């Protein structure tokens, strides 16, 4: 492809689905440059140690020739909101639209493909511009499956939900860990106890 082109990730869900399925590399299979708006990147990775976060960071660093983080004004606003403890919901998609507009403005022949979450792309009206195409995570995987590049779309989605389920279980166990509860009780008792003389 000779014209300027970008596959823009509009939301955390494709990244999180693929990273939990250990399948982020499928994004590289079409050989298209991938742009991840800063707000999407931050939303997916800001909690260090959260499921998939470290893997996403490592994957991007391992593929800097194909994957880039796009700085946006929305990303700056997101930082401010995080500092102030305000909601950042929906900012990933807004940042993607900002990244798209800048990219299309940069060159009249530029074309972009937006990667969306499936239910959103089916029901919510997205950008209408002849130079912009859309694809969902599921549609993307189905194309790879049809080309014989992955075992099956369902297999990847099942792996993602299985890992998500394990994460949820670990959280539940963590929330009900008796050792942690004892430690918490001990700390509360110590906090409430009168200071001892030295």
Partner 1 sequence: MVADEREALTRQYAAGEITWWTLRDRGLDNYVEVLGQLGKLGLRPPIARDEGPNMAARSRGRTLIRDALKTHLP
If one asks whether residue 17 binds partner 1 (CB under 8 A), the answer comes out as yes
CB of 82 to partner 1, least distance (A): 14
Calculate the alpha carbon distances from 40 to 2, 91, 99, 128, 170 in Å.
Answer: 27, 8, 11, 21, 25
Nearer to partner 1, 71 or 163 (CB): 163
| Among residues 63, 81, 102, 142, the one that binds partner 1 under rule CB under 8 A | 142
List, in order, residues 6 or more apart from 180 with CB less than 8 Å away: 174
Site for partner 1 in 27-86 (CB under 8 A): 29-32, 50-52
Q: Which residues pair with 37 in a beta bridge?
A: 70
CB of 93 to partner 1, least distance (A): 9
List, in order, residues 6 or more apart from 30 with CB less than 8 Å away: 7
Nearer to partner 1, 109 or 186 (CB): 109
| Among residues 58, 62, 147, 183, the one that binds partner 1 under rule CB under 8 A | 147
Report helix, strand or coil for 132. Answer: strand
CB of 34 to partner 1, least distance (A): 12
Looking at residue 66, what DSSP letter applies? T
């Amino acid at each position: 492809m000779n014209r300027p082109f970008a596959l823009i990730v509009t939301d955390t869900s494709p990244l999180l689905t693929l990273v939990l399925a250990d399948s982020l590399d499928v994004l590289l299979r079409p050989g298209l440059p991938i742009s991840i708006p800063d707000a999407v990147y931050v939303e997916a990775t800001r909690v260090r140690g959260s499921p998939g976060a470290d893997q996403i960071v490592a994957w991007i660093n391992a593929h800097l020739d194909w994957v880039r983080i796009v700085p946006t004004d929305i990303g700056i606003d997101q930082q401010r909101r995080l500092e102030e403890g305000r909601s950042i919901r929906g900012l990933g998609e807004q940042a993607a639209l900002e990244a798209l507009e800048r990219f299309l403005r940069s060159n009249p022949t530029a074309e972009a493909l937006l990667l969306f979450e499936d239910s959103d792309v089916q029901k919510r009206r997205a950008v209408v511009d002849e130079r912009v195409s859309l694809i969902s995570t599921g549609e993307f995987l189905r194309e790879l499956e049809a080309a014989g590049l992955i075992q099956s779309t369902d297999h990847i989605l099942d792996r993602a939900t299985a890992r998500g389920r394990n994460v949820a279980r670990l959280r539940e166990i963590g929330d009900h860990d008796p050792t942690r509860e004892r430690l918490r009780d001990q700390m509360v008792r110590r906090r409430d106890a009168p200071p001892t003389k030295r």
